Amino acid sequence: MLGRSKRPVANCPACAADRGHDPATCGHLTCHGFYAASTDPERVGAIVAAVPRGQLALRTGAASGVVVVDVGPDHGGAATLARLIAAGLTPATARVRTGSGGLHLYYRHPGRPVSCSQGKPGQGLGPGIDVKADGGYVVLPPSTHPRTGRPYRWISGHGVKEMPPPYSLPARRLRPHR
């Protein structure tokens, strides 16, 4: 669960004071960001009840079996996606229209480590596109974007497909030569 700012909910006072315990084994409901993630419907319901104005999120990577390609509407994401599609590097898959007007493309995790690019120069798939995988998370529908007020929405038509092998290549190999 995320707060309204698309950031994880702050740790409870007990966890904030105790720097020595393992976040992966902490049993508190909303502490430690994606370590609090759960597929248990009762626990998810309790988390939503505890943070009623929060945003739903999915822990990406091996933990969920999902890698998400995050296409940002700013910084050239649409043009980069068009180049990836034209090169046959982006098969149709499950998609979410984000509250900012971007896209999240959902692929199956390949079972080997996949790093998040998280806007790090030279590590995404090109300008405006990040990879959210091991150690990352994405906002889920029907959450509302904090800046635009628009909801995240599933786009019907495709199931989750295999992650394309080129997505593990360095970004410089995917960009057109100048």
Rounded-to-integer distance, Cα 19 and Cα 125, Å? 36
Task: Grade residue 73 by pLDDT with cuts at 50, 70 and 90.
Answer: confident
Residue 133 has pLDDT above 80, yes or no: yes
pLDDT at 79: 93
Instruction: Supply the mean pLDDT for the chain.
Output: 81
- CA 107/CA 26 separation, integer angstroms: 29
Q: How confident is the model at residue 174 (pLDDT cuts 50, 70, 90)?
A: very low
Give me the architecture of the 57-173 domain, per CATH.
Answer: 2-Layer Sandwich (3.30)
pLDDT at position 146? 85
List the beta strands (DSSP E) in the chain: 57-59, 66-71, 94-97, 103-108, 129-132, 137-139, 153-155, 161-162
- Under 8 Å CB-to-CB from 75, ≥6 apart: which residues? 127, 128
Give the pairing of strands 94-97 and 103-108: antiparallel
Global pTM reads 0.81
Give the whole-angstrom CA distance, residue 29 versus residue 19: 17
**pLDDT tens across 19-72, in order?**
777 777 777 777 777 677 777 888 778 877 888 777 888 889 998 999 999 999
Could you say which DSSP state residue 82 is in?
Answer: H
- pLDDT top residue among 110 and 122: 110
